[in-house]
Amino acid sequence: MAIESDDSDIRETWLKAYFGGNGDPYIEIVYKDKDGFKCTTSVRIAVSGGKSPSEIKIAVATLAREMTRLNLNEHPDNQPPT
- Helical segments of 2-71, H only: 54-69
> Whats the size of the chain, residue-wise?
82
- Taking only the tens place, the pLDDT of each residue in 37-68 is 888 899 999 988 888 899 999 999 999 999 99
- Taking only the tens place, the pLDDT of each residue in 4-36 is 777 767 777 889 999 999 999 999 998 888 888
Dist. CA 1–CA 24, nearest whole Å: 21
- Helical segments of the chain, H only: 54-69
* Overall pTM surpassing 0.75 (yes/no): yes
pLDDT at 78: 61
pLDDT at 26: 95
Dist. CA 22–CA 37, nearest whole Å: 28
pLDDT at 80: 44
